Amino acid sequence: MKAIAPKSIGFILFLFVALVTHTTSAQEVTWLSWSEAAALATSEENPKKIFVDVYTDWCGWCKKMDKDTFQNAEVAAYMDANFYMVKLDGEGKEPIEYKGRTFNFVPSGRKGYHEFAAALMGGKLSYPTTIFLDEEMNMLSPVPGYQKPEPFLNIAKYFGDDIYKEKDWKTYSSKGK
């Protein structure tokens, strides 16, 4: 049996440390179902706002946003601290209760759509779309399209830190210009 050279041991150790560092830098978001988030929002003493990521299984930009934005450590930590995070399949089949109404899947074309997704997006089915709701589950804003981590975090803080109550988006978003 051949002995491992000291240089090889150093290289293997380097790879191990690099892998562990990379693995720990990605933070997982705690995703909830709509019913779980709604239950928390109505039962907790100090409820969080609700964030809804509306996606479809076939949406490439949705998958990219999951990988690039929601797994970003800073984004994940902020969102987990300030929002109940909901994944909502825009073509999901399960009925959803919201403000005394039941929303259902509507067969249409080859796949169909969920009425709740359509209601949250104002009838404009576009994926991905992220939705921000306040602590009482009232609409703050839908945000259509893929968002990179830094611009997404800027949007999330606008709602999560209640800046929207003091400044309009245009004033807030031009703060660094």
The reported pLDDT for the residue numbered 10 is 52
Lowest mean pLDDT among 13-27, 39-53, 142-156: 13-27
Q: What is the DSSP letter of 121?
A: T
Confidence of residue 172 (pLDDT cuts 50, 70, 90): very high
pLDDT at 45: 87
Pairing mode, if any, of strands 105-106 and 101-103? unpaired
Q: Is the pLDDT of residue 104 over 60?
A: yes
- For residue 96, report the phi and psi dihedrals to the nearest 5 degrees: -130, 130
Averaged over 118-129, what is the pLDDT?
A: 96
Q: What is the mean pLDDT of residues 95-120?
A: 96
Q: Global pTM?
A: 0.82
CA 49 to chain centre: 12
